[in-house]
Amino acid sequence: MNDYVAGPTSLAVPAEAAAHAVNPWVAFAYLVAGVCFILALRGLSHPTTSRQGNRYGMIGMTIAVVTTLVTHDIASLPEIGIAIFLGGTIGWVIARKIAMTDMPQLVAAFHSLVGLAAVLVGWAAYLNPGAFGILGEGGAISPVSRVEMGLGIAIGAITFSGSIIAFLKLAGKMSGAPIMLPGRHFINLGTLAAILGLTVYFTQDQSFWIIAVITVLAFIIGFLLIIPIGGADMPVVVSMLNSYSGWAAAAMGFTLHNTAMIITGALVGASGAILSYIMCKAMNRGFLSVIAGGFGADAGGGGGGAAQTDRPWKRGSAEDAAFMMSQAEQVIIIPGYGMAVAQAQHVLREMTDLLKEKGVTVKFAIHPVAGRMPGHMNVLLAEANVPYDEVFELEDINGEFAQTDVAFIIGANDVVNPAAKTDKSSPIYGMPVFEVDKAKQVFFIKRSMGGVGYAGVDNDVFYMDQTMMLLSDAKKMVEEINKSLAD
Q: Note whether 325 and 287 are same-domain residues.
A: no
Does residue 89 fall inside a structural domain? Answer: yes
Q: Note whether 274 and 324 are same-domain residues.
A: no
Does residue 310 fall inside a structural domain? Answer: no
Q: Strand, helix or coil at 330?
A: strand
pLDDT attached to residue 188: 84
Q: Note whether 456 and 366 are same-domain residues.
A: yes
Q: Note whether 230 and 198 are same-domain residues.
A: yes
Count how many domains the chain has.
Answer: 2
- Closest to 222 in 3D by CA, of 266, 246, 192: 192
- Closest to 443 in 3D by CA, of 305, 326, 359, 340: 326
Domain boundary among 266, 298, 330: 298
Domain boundary among 298, 333, 358: 298
Does residue 312 fall inside a structural domain? Answer: no
Q: Note whether 277 and 327 are same-domain residues.
A: no
Does residue 330 fall inside a structural domain? Answer: yes
Does residue 308 fall inside a structural domain? Answer: no
Does residue 309 fall inside a structural domain? Answer: no
- Mean pLDDT in consecutive groups of 10 residues from the start of the chain, 487 residues: 38 41 77 91 81 91 87 74 88 82 81 90 88 78 87 92 87 71 81 92 91 94 82 73 87 81 88 82 67 47 48 90 94 90 91 94 89 79 88 90 94 84 75 89 86 66 91 93 91
Q: Which of 233, 298, 414, 487 is catalytic?
A: 414
pLDDT attached to residue 348: 94
Residue environment code for 251-268, b if the CB has 16+ CB neighbours within 10 A, otherwise e: bbbbbbbbbbbbbbbbbb
**Total Cβ atoms within 10 A of residue 186:** 9
Q: Note whether 281 and 335 are same-domain residues.
A: no
Does residue 432 fall inside a structural domain? Answer: yes
pLDDT attached to residue 160: 93
Does residue 311 fall inside a structural domain? Answer: no
Distances (CA, A) of 141 to 127, 132, 205, 272, 393: 10, 10, 10, 31, 51
Residue 102 appears among annotated catalytic residues:
no
Q: Note whether 372 and 413 are same-domain residues.
A: yes
Residue 381's CATH number: 3.40.50.1220
CA-based Rg of the chain, rounded to a whole angstrom?
A: 25
Q: Note whether 193 and 336 are same-domain residues.
A: no
- Vertex 163: Cα angle to 447 and 4 (nearest 5): 105
pLDDT attached to residue 1: 39
Identify any residues that bridge with 408 across adjacent strands, giving them in sequence order: 333, 443
Domain that holds residue 344: 318-486
Burial class, 442, CB count within 10 angstroms (exposed 0-12 / middle 13-18 / buried 19+) = buried
Q: Note whether 41 and 136 are same-domain residues.
A: yes
Q: Note whether 366 and 286 are same-domain residues.
A: no
Domain boundary among 298, 329, 362: 298
Burial class, 146, CB count within 10 angstroms (exposed 0-12 / middle 13-18 / buried 19+) = buried
Q: Note whether 287 and 400 are same-domain residues.
A: no
- Closest to 373 in 3D by CA, of 475, 281, 174, 240: 240
Q: Note whether 286 and 340 are same-domain residues.
A: no
Long-range contacts made by residues 95-98, C-beta under 8 angstroms, separation at least 24? none
